[in-house]
A and B are shown apart, each in its own frame.
Chain A
C-alpha cells in the first residue's frame, strides 16, 4: 500500500497524543507524565517563537557550521557506473555527526525551561559528545549513560566526553548497549525529574521527543532540497540514510515526504545477516510493540521480551526505531532495507579510498546500500546519501578487525 501524502496530512501528525497512525504515543511511568506534558506545551509554543528559532538558526550557522555541503561524489559515481551519487556532508558538522543539530535545539529548550542538569544516552558516543559539547558551551551539568560494551568499543568518544566535562556512567545492566543506556537514563530522569532535562538522541522515546527531534534534524532535508535544486536543477530521485533510532534518516526524509518522485531508503543494521537473528533491524524483521515510551517496530521474542541485538556499529545497535518510521513503513512511503556488518565495512573502506571521506560505521550502512541501488539506476538519475557522521571514532574497531593494535 502506498499513500500520497499531503501537507495537511503531515501537519496533522503526530496527533494530540503523539501518535503517528498506530505508532508513537506516551508510554511512561506516571512520574514523568507532567514533565512531558510541560515539555510538549513549551515546545509547541517555542516552535512558533521567532526568538527561539532565530537563536537556533544562528547556532546552526555559527557553531555547527551549517549549511553542510551537498557534494557530488564523482569518482564513486564513475566506479559504480549508475546514478549520480551525492553526499550530504553531516560529517563536517562540529563534533562530526548530525547529532549536534538536535542537541543544540534541545539544550536551547532546556535553557528556556530553566533546567540546569542534562542527561543523555549514547551508543556510538556521538550523541554523548554532541550533548557534552553543548553543555560545555552553556555551562550545564552533563551526565551521559552509555552501555559498558559501548564504553569499550568507543573509548575515544568516552574520553572526549570527559574532556568536555561530562560524567560518563557505564551501564552494566541487561545487554550493556544502547537500550540499556536508555533504561538507565530514564531511571535517572524519574529520580531527578524536577531539575533534569533529558536530551534524547534520536526520534524515539515518548511524545513529544519524536516530533521535536525530527523538527531539529529536518534542517538536513531542507538544505538538501535547496542544494539539489541549485546544483543539479532537480530533486533527487532517491535518498538513502542509515537507521538506528532514525534521526538522521527522518531529518533527511521529512522535507521530501510529499514529493512522490523521491524514493526513500532507510538502511538498518543487518549484522551477521537477518536470517541469523543477529542483527538490529526491527523494521525489516521485527513487529510492533512498546518500549522506551512509544509503540513502534521492535525486536522481541514471542513473549514480548526485548531481544538482544547485534551490529558492528554501536549507534545502530538498538532493538527499536522511531515511531514515524514505523508509520512510513506501514503506509509504504519509505523503504526499509538492511546491509550486513561485512557490507558496511567494505563500504567504509571504499568511500575512504575512492573519495577520501571516512564515514562512521553507521553511515557506511547507507553507503553500502546506496552504491548497490545506484548501480541499478540510470546515469541521469540522482541519489543522495546522508553522510551522518565521520569515521574517526571507528578507526579502533576497524584496526582491530585488521588485527592491528593501535
Chain B
C-alpha cells in the first residue's frame, strides 16, 4: 500500500477528511520550503502538494503565476524540488508528498531519470496538469514500477466515460477541480461540487480530493462534507507572497489559516 493510500485509509477509518495544502516549491526562497512543509504538518495537514514552478503555468491564476516567478528567480529547478522532498523525508517519514506541475520540466529531465530521482527522494505522487491519461502511456509504467501514484484531474466538464478512464489510470486519489477556471478564482459553487463529487463516488472507489476555490474553514467544511479531502492552494500562496521576508511571521500566518480548517474538517467526523 502506498503512503497516500495508507493515510487516506486511516482517515477514512476515523471518519475524518484529508487536509491537503499546496505551496509552490522555492517560494519565497528554496531554502525555506522544507521548513514551511514541517510547519504545515504541525498545523495538522495530511498530505502536501508541492508545486513545481514553471515558466508558463497556463492553468494558474495570478497568485500562483507570481509564486512561480519568485521561485524561478531563485533557480528552483525540478531537481532542486526533488532535493527538498528528500530533505523533508529525512525527518518526516509519514506525510505523503505529491508534486504538482506541468509536463515540460519532467520531459526535459527525462521520464525515467525523473521517476528514479522521485522514488529515491521519497516522493509519493505526481500530478501533471497538462498530461491527460491519453498521453500518459510512456510514464505510467515507470511510475507504477516505483510505487509513485499518478494523480489525475477531473473537471466539471468531464464526462462519465472519461471519469471512468481517469480513475482507471489513477491511484492514491483523484483531484476534482471544483469549477471551470484557473487557480485562485472565486467561482466555487458548493452545491454543484457536492452533486458532482457524489456522482464521481458512484463511478470510482478512489478517494476524491477537491481543490480550487477553498479559502477558509467554512468552504473547507462545506466541501469536506462530500469529499475525502480538500486541497487548499492560492490562499496559502497569497500568504507567502505577503510575508516573503519575515519567515517566522509567515509560519504563524500559515498555521493560523490551517488550524481552523483542520478543526472545521474534524468537526464533521461522525
Partner-B contacts on A (CB < 8 A): 17, 25-35, 173-174, 179-180, 183, 186-187, 190-194, 288-293, 295, 298, 300, 302-306
Tell me the minimal C-beta distance from B206 to chain A in angstroms: 15
Q: Is the CB of A183 within 8 A of B152?
A: no
Q: Is the CB of A187 within 8 A of B107?
A: no
Tell me the minimal C-beta distance from A37 to chain B in angstroms: 8
**Could you list 26 examples of A-B contacts with CB < 8 Å?**
A17-B134, A25-B134, A26-B134, A26-B135, A27-B103, A30-B132, A31-B155, A33-B162, A35-B157, A174-B65, A186-B58, A187-B60, A190-B180, A191-B182, A191-B187, A288-B107, A289-B108, A290-B102, A303-B77, A303-B79, A303-B108, A304-B78, A304-B105, A305-B72, A305-B104, A306-B55
Bound Cα distance from A25 to B181, whole angstroms: 22
Q: Mark B8-28, 1 if CB is under 8 A from A, else 0.
A: 000000000000000000000
Provide the residues of chain A in CB contact with B61, threshold 8 Å: 187
Given contacts A183-B57, A191-B187, 14 further A-B contacts (CB under 8 A): A26-B135, A29-B129, A31-B153, A31-B181, A33-B132, A33-B162, A174-B55, A186-B58, A187-B58, A289-B104, A289-B108, A304-B54, A304-B106, A305-B72
Bound Cα distance from A33 to B55, whole angstroms: 22
Bound Cα distance from A302 to B109, whole angstroms: 8
Does B238 sit within 8 A of A, measured CB to CB? no
Q: Is the CB of B181 within 8 A of A191?
A: yes
* Chain B, range 157-172, C-beta contacts under 8 Å to A: 157-159, 162, 166
Tell me the minimal C-beta distance from A300 to chain B in angstroms: 6
**A33-B158, A34-B157, A193-B157 given as contacts; is B107 within 8 A of A304 (CB)?**
yes
In the complex, what residue of chain A is closest to B130 when comparing beta carbons? A27
Partner-A contacts on B (CB < 8 A): 54-62, 65, 72, 77-79, 102-109, 129-132, 134-135, 152-159, 162, 166, 177, 180-182, 185, 187
Bound Cα distance from A53 to B53, whole angstroms: 44
Q: Which of A35, A191, A192, A290 is in CB contact (< 8 Å) with B107?
A: A290
Provide the residues of chain A in CB contact with B162, threshold 8 Å: 30, 33-34
Bound Cα distance from A294 to B59, whole angstroms: 15
Q: Is the CB of A29 within 8 A of B153?
A: yes
Q: Is the CB of B104 within 8 A of A28?
A: no
Provide the residues of chain A in CB contact with B55, threshold 8 Å: 174, 305-306
Q: Is the CB of B107 within 8 A of A25?
A: no
Q: Is the CB of A291 within 8 A of B104?
A: yes
In the complex, what residue of chain B is closest to A173 when comparing beta carbons? B65
Bound Cα distance from A28 to B177, whole angstroms: 14
Q: Which of A17, A30, A304 is in CB contact (< 8 Å) with B177?
A: A30
Most buried by B among A293, A300, A304: A304
Bound Cα distance from A190 to B182, whole angstroms: 7
Q: Is the CB of A190 within 8 A of B132?
A: no
Tell me the minimal C-beta distance from A176 to chain B in angstroms: 13
**A35-B157, A174-B56 given as contacts; is B105 within 8 A of A305 (CB)?**
yes
Tell me the minimal C-beta distance from B207 to chain A in angstroms: 17
Q: Is the CB of B180 within 8 A of A306?
A: no
Provide the residues of chain B in CB contact with A305, threshold 8 Å: 54-55, 72, 104-105
In the complex, what residue of chain B is closest to A25 when comparing beta carbons? B135
Most buried by A among B56, B77, B162, B187: B56
**A30-B177, A34-B162, A192-B180 given as contacts; is B108 within 8 A of A291 (CB)?**
no
Q: Which of A26, A35, A190 is in CB contact (< 8 Å) with B59?
A: A190
Which 4 A-B pairs give the minimum distances between C-beta atoms? A304-B108, A304-B105, A31-B155, A303-B77
Provide the residues of chain A in CB contact with B155, threshold 8 Å: 29-31, 33
Bound Cα distance from A36 to B166, whole angstroms: 16
Q: Is the CB of A28 within 8 A of B132?
A: yes
Tell me the minimal C-beta distance from B38 to chain A in angstroms: 26
**A26-B134, A29-B59, A306-B56 given as contacts; is B104 within 8 A of A187 (CB)?**
no
Q: Is the CB of A179 within 8 A of B56?
A: yes
Q: Is the CB of A29 within 8 A of B79?
A: no
Bound Cα distance from A300 to B166, whole angstroms: 30
Provide the residues of chain B in CB contact with A186, threshold 8 Å: 58-59
Most buried by A among B55, B62, B72, B187: B55
**A179-B56, A303-B79, A305-B54 given as contacts; is B106 within 8 A of A29 (CB)?**
no
Bound Cα distance from A214 to B131, whole angstroms: 24
Q: Which of B79, B103, B135, B181 is in CB contact (< 8 Å) with A190?
A: B181
Tell me the minimal C-beta distance from A404 to chain B in angstroms: 36
Provide the residues of chain B in CB contact with A295, threshold 8 Å: 107
Bound Cα distance from A28 to B187, whole angstroms: 21
Tell me the minimal C-beta distance from B112 to chain A in angstroms: 15
Q: Is the CB of A194 within 8 A of B104?
A: no
Provide the residues of chain B in CB contact with A34, threshold 8 Å: 157-159, 162
Q: Which of B77, B130, B152 is in CB contact (< 8 Å) with A28?
A: B130
In the complex, what residue of chain A is closest to B59 when comparing beta carbons? A29
In the complex, what residue of chain A is closest to B62 when comparing beta carbons? A173
Q: Which of B54, B58, B132, B166 is in CB contact (< 8 Å) with A26?
A: B132
**A17-B134, A190-B181, A193-B180 given as contacts; is B78 within 8 A of A292 (CB)?**
no
